[in-house]
Each structure stands twice: as structure tokens, then as C-alpha cells.
Amino acid sequence: MKKSEFLRELKINLEGKIGDDELENILMDYDDIFESGKADNKTEDEISDMIGSPALVARNILDEWSDNREAKSVIEGDYPVAPLGKRVMAFAIDYILSLVPLVLLSFIRAPRILFFAVIPLMLYNPVVPIFIILGFLDISPQPGVVSTYVDSGIAGINIFHIVLVLISFIFFWLYGTLSMIILKDRTIGMRLMNIRVVKRDGRILRPLDVFIRQFVGKILLAGLTWNISYIVSFFWTAFSNTHNTIHDKLVGTLVVEDMRNDQ
């Protein structure tokens, strides 16, 4: 197929389906492809065979254009980007809720000792405290007791107390992941603030996406960087038009106003 025939058929297949400026740019791009091929001593027929039929090329262009337009509409159209203030409030609410089991344990004497031993570290690293808690654990059986830490000088602490604290930490780590899976693309804090998480490409948010965003991108990364990732995310959010964070970038998500009527 000659270049003129290819470009004419491509134009017919695209005309009226995309903007005039975009159509002109596409035709110019394929004109350049033909000219580059001819510079390599290829015939126009060989070049058109290499590219494929104009109808197939047009279909691929329209599919890609549709995906890009949908992603753009998430930002600019049907789904307004969530204001920074709402995101901060949602984060604060969720952080408080994730600490509820640990706070409840502070009313029991023995777990309270463990809790206050590690709470200062949680301000710097959400992962390291677990290793300190495990340091209290001695699985050597004692007479009449399943397992007791006897060398610390902290009376009354046994494996039951330590397991309770460990479970509370696991809840702290997985709260964001579980709540977003259960509530479908939002946490409790996000629901109260009427915002939710969507994929930028318009696809459904999968449980794996949620795990990477909420656990790997938040908890694990914060543990590896000693909470520096939270600081970077805050400033990134503050100065980004779409208020993106590191964990948003990891899975291609965006936090938007929830326009659904199921509140």
C-alpha cells in the first residue's frame, strides 16, 4: 500500500473519533515513519506491511486514546482530586484507629510496661518495636507456666501478654490494608472524609494493589527509611497538583472525592 493510500484510510478510520489536532499529529507521525523507511531504502509497500493495516492501526490508536482520556477524566473531570486537608484528616483518623488495640492494652499493667517501653520508637520507626517486644519472649518452659520472661526483672510479664502486644502491632500494620479491602477502595477515615482511592488507568483496585499501597508503600517503607518516606510523601503531596504520595506512585493510584451515593 502506498503512503498516500495508507494515510487516507487511517484518516477515514480516525476522523470524528478524536480531536482534529490529535488526528493531524498522528498523520504527521506516520508520514515521518514512511519517510524514515524510505531513507533506509525500503519501499512504501514494505513499510505499510511492517506497520499493519490502517484499520488495525486506527483501532489500536483509539483504544490507547480512550484509556488516556479515561485516566485524564479521573484527574480533571468526573472524579475531582481529594483536597490535601481531607487526606490529612483521613490519615489522622486511621492512625488513631490503628492504635486502638495498643491503647486498650495500656490499661493492663504488664502489657502497659511493654507498650510504654516501645511507644517512643514508634514515632521514628513502625517496625523496629516488634523486635524489642520479641526480645521479651523466652520460650523455655517454666514449672506451672507455659512461658515466662524471668531474666528481665519485670514481674508478671508472660507469653500471653507478649502475644497480645504482638497481635496489636499486627493490627496496627494491617489496619489500612484490611479496611481498604473490606470497604472497597477506602479506609474508615477516607469514608468519613468522603474520599476514595482509584487507579489512574481506570482499572479496578485489586487486593494486591491495596497491599502494596498500604503495607509495602506505607508501613514497610517507613520502617526501612525510619519514617523519612512519610515526610517525603507529605511534601510531595503538598506540592503536587494531584497530591500524589510515594505509595500512590507505587501502584498508580489517585485519591479523589467520592461521588457515589452510598455514604
* Each residue's pLDDT tens digit, 175-191: 999 999 999 899 999 99
Pair 146, 243 in one domain:
yes
Boundary residue ending a domain (76, 106, 128): 76
Give yes or no for residue 130 having a pLDDT over 50: yes
Q: CA dihedral in degrees (76, 79, 85, 86; nearest 10)?
A: -170
Give yes or no for residue 239 having a pLDDT over 70: yes
**What percentage of residues in the chain have a pLDDT greater than 70?**
84
Pair 234, 112 in one domain:
yes
User: Would residue 146 count as lying in a domain?
Assistant: yes
**What percentage of residues in the chain have a pLDDT greater than 90?**
35
Which range, of 22-26, 117-121, 225-229, 259-263, averages the lowest pLDDT? Answer: 259-263
Pair 119, 224 in one domain:
yes
User: Would residue 91 count as lying in a domain?
Assistant: yes
Residue 85, Cβ neighbours under 10 Å: how many? Answer: 9
Q: The pTM is what?
A: 0.65
Determine if residue 80 is left, alpha or beta; phi over 0 gives left, psi from -120 to 50 gives alpha, anything else beta. beta
User: Would residue 263 count as lying in a domain?
Assistant: no
Local confidence band at 107 (pLDDT 50, 70, 90 cut-offs): confident
User: Would residue 49 count as lying in a domain?
Assistant: yes
pLDDT recorded at residue 253:
93
Q: Provide the domain limits for residue 145.
A: 84-257
Give yes or no for residue 89 having a pLDDT over 80: yes
Pair 149, 55 in one domain:
no
What average pLDDT does the structure give for the chain? 83
What's the domain count of the chain?
2
pLDDT recorded at residue 215:
95
Cell for 73? 477524566
